[in-house]
Structure 1
Amino acid sequence: MQEQLGGLRVLLTNQRRAAELGAALARRGAAIVDAPVLSIVPHADDDELTDRTRDLIADPPDVLVVTTGVGLRGWVEAADAAGLATDLLAALADTQIVARGPKAKGAILQAGLSAAWTAESETAAEVGEYLLAQGVEGRHVAVQHHGSGDDGLDALFADAGARVTPVVVYRVGPSPDPAAVARGIDLVADKQVDAVVFTSAPMAAEFLDRARSHGRFEEVVAACHPQGDVLAAAVGPVTAGPLQAVGIEPIVPDRYRLGALVRELVKALAPRAAARVHTPAGTLMVRTRAAHLEGRPLPLTPAGLAVLRLLAQAQGAVVTRAAILAELPGDSTNPHTAEMAVARLREAPGLRPLVQTVVKRGYRLDVLPDDVPPENVRTANMLPDEVRNDPMLDPSRPRAEQGAHP
């Protein structure tokens, strides 16, 4: 599992559940960078939530929309801390409770209440359509929100004639670490992370606003462009909205869950994570920012890492000097530059016998064929360099053209 995202860096912009999301990605080998753009006001310390709970106990709603399971559980916990849980549950006993998805329904049942209807699509739009079809004019509708933004439900019901009471279980505040956010913006703009993850629309919008004030908005957008180097990911379509508005198309899981988001990230990032080949010296893993030979880290410069990645991706085929030059920084057209880069690469422990010169053609890695037992190939490769580097041994050449060596 650690090989899936090994060597990749992922920037997290959330505070709530950041540890859970980060741990899931770290188990797959990713290095996590935290840059929480907003803070969360804990529900137990939120006087506004307590006041709203007392209001609803005194004036129970006809309809309650539960948007998230964690939100309802947090509300009940906050009510319990204020000594109001029993009265709240009693006030909601005769209320028509609508769940925005199975998790919300599960929390409703856990609280000892019943769900009259569940939106299987887990979208606010389906909830709105259902209740408008029933009619909400003159009814008291309470909507439990999950921190920021109401997905348009409050205005939708109010326009249809309902009396709406929003219940915000937790609220957002300023970033707990503005310096970390600034560093995170720089990392994205400089393409020093492989992905940036958003779990709410306000966080996405705030991150973009911070990038503007930091003077790096255009660079952030360019880095997160579909053809850019930084993958943007959003937990759902609402979260993706602010990003799409500026031309960023994030990946979005089919199910709006952190687990599904992690799976989509792994699927999208894994091809970037490593070029993996089997060699006579062991398994070589070349990742975005590091390389390991049989589990041992290789001390490589960025240029050396780029050349080694190119060779590994070729899977034993010849890589021309021109291709190597194209991977190196600068605008050099001198073939000697490629030769020097390869010479420095060979200085890394274990690489000298693996990086082979193919005369007049380029370079290749000594890669084991998948269908040959490793012990046999290791024996066959125990040859002097002048023989091993003979172009006639190039496996990319037709077998009839390969020379016979003792």
Structure 2
Amino acid sequence: MENLMLQASESLKGKVVAVPESRQLLLLSKMLSKRGADVMAVPMVSIHDAPDPLPVLNWLKGFVRNPPDILILLTGEGLRRLIKLAEQNGLKNDFVMALSRVDKLCRGPKPNQALREIGLEREIDAMAPTTAGVIASLDKLELSGKNIAVQLYGEEPNVKLIAYLKQAGGQVSVVAPYVYANKLDDEKVIDLIWAMHNGKVDVIAFSSQPQVNRLFKVAKQYQLEGELSIGLNKCHVAAMGPVVRDVLNNKGVTVEIMPARTFFMKPLVTAIAKFLNKQV
């Protein structure tokens, strides 16, 4: 057992892994460090409660008073923020009880994990952790006349999903319990771009699309788009799942590393280690 642990701790020894994470930065960095990686942590975005909590609170009260037929959870972060706001307003028990009576569809493993934290499970699996995967699962259901609630990904309106639900005859309500905000420290992002450009980064690991958007926004703002492109070609790019991979692909970035099935941090770290060990 000790030898196995030693092998695991050395599997990323001497490798520099850039982590543009915010939500669980310390957790991901710790997991990589345990495998011997030299972690370059550069938080790209921060997450905040919705600046105006009243619409979210009103949505919660309506949910408790008249639960929908289906709740679509796009992120675990969103559900946790809803639960926190419900608790702050003395509604947590009522909200959890209402949740237990609703058919819940999770876009991926993160919202499912958030449900388990309050003792609940999803009733419907997305075919894939994408909007297309959610729609593919909903295609099997009769949605006409159903009340359908959607917890959004940040402030992204997800026009495609909402249009599909309305076209299918659903009565749709949406809630956006949190927003993304850029971190103010552009200098660290610029340092990361130059580190990649100079070949000092082995892997950069993305876990959400706002990270990708922030990196490219800073590069454009400081006229470093060419340097960023060179840097991303010099290092190996990892994505936690297909949503982030597709965002990167749309920006012309090739993703070489991604977990095969489960899109959590641990499988991402394992995929990085396996990939780099094959390069030796």
> Taking every aligned residue pair, what percent have the same amino acid on both sides?
28
- In the aligned structure 2, how far is the partner of 1:176 from the partner of 1:51? 32
Per the alignment, residue 35 of structure 1 pairs with 42
Letter in 1 for 2:82: W
| Closer/same/farther in 2, CA of residues 264 and 113 from structure 1, 3 Å limit | closer
- The Cα of 1:121 is off from its aligned counterpart by 4.2
Per the alignment, residue 25 of structure 1 pairs with 32
What is the Cα-based RMSD across aligned positions, in Å?
2.9
TM-score, with structure 1 as normaliser:
0.59
Counterpart selection for 1:82 from 63, 76, 89: 89
- The Cα of 1:43 is off from its aligned counterpart by 7.4
| Closer/same/farther in 2, CA of residues 206 and 101 from structure 1, 3 Å limit | closer
**C-alpha contact 2:216 2:225 (8 A) present in aligned 1:** yes
**C-alpha contact 1:221 1:246 (8 A) present in aligned 2:** no
Per the alignment, residue 107 of structure 2 pairs with 100
Per the alignment, residue 218 of structure 2 pairs with 210
For the pair 1:16 / 2:16, whether they are aligned, the reply is no
SS at structure 2 position matched to 1:141: strand
- The Cα of 1:268 is off from its aligned counterpart by 2.0
- In the aligned structure 1, how far is the partner of 2:98 from the partner of 2:221? 47
Per the alignment, residue 72 of structure 1 pairs with 79
Letter in 2 for 1:23: K
Point out the structure with max Rg over C-alpha.
1
- In the aligned structure 1, how far is the partner of 2:37 from the partner of 2:50? 31
Q: Deviations over 1:15-38 (max 9, x none)?
A: 111111111111112122222221
Letter in 1 for 2:246: G
For the pair 1:248 / 2:248, whether they are aligned, the reply is no
**C-alpha contact 1:3 1:29 (8 A) present in aligned 2:** yes
**C-alpha contact 2:182 2:214 (8 A) present in aligned 1:** no
**C-alpha contact 2:125 2:137 (8 A) present in aligned 1:** no
Per the alignment, residue 117 of structure 1 pairs with 124
The count of aligned residue pairs is: 270
- The Cα of 1:252 is off from its aligned counterpart by 1.8
| Closer/same/farther in 2, CA of residues 126 and 167 from structure 1, 3 Å limit | same
- In the aligned structure 2, how far is the partner of 1:196 from the partner of 1:189? 12
TM-score, with structure 2 as normaliser:
0.82
Q: Deviations over 1:200-239 (max 9, x none)?
A: 11221221122122212122223323xxx21111111111
SS at structure 2 position matched to 1:224: helix
**C-alpha contact 2:131 2:161 (8 A) present in aligned 1:** yes
SS at structure 1 position matched to 2:21: coil
Letter in 1 for 2:84: E
Which sits farther off after the overlay, 196-205 or 132-141? 132-141
| Closer/same/farther in 2, CA of residues 263 and 160 from structure 1, 3 Å limit | same
In terms of fraction of residues, the more helix-rich structure is 2
- The Cα of 1:48 is off from its aligned counterpart by 5.1
Q: Which runs of 4+ in 1 moved over 6 A?
A: none
- In the aligned structure 2, how far is the partner of 1:12 from the partner of 1:162? 40
| Closer/same/farther in 2, CA of residues 47 and 269 from structure 1, 3 Å limit | farther
Q: Deviations over 1:60-108 (max 9, x none)?
A: 3221113345543442233112211123234344322223356644644
Letter in 2 for 1:214: Y
Counterpart selection for 1:257 from 254, 258, 264: 264
Per the alignment, residue 236 of structure 1 pairs with 241
Letter in 2 for 1:13: P
Letter in 1 for 2:173: T
Per the alignment, residue 340 of structure 1 pairs with none
SS at structure 2 position matched to 1:196: strand
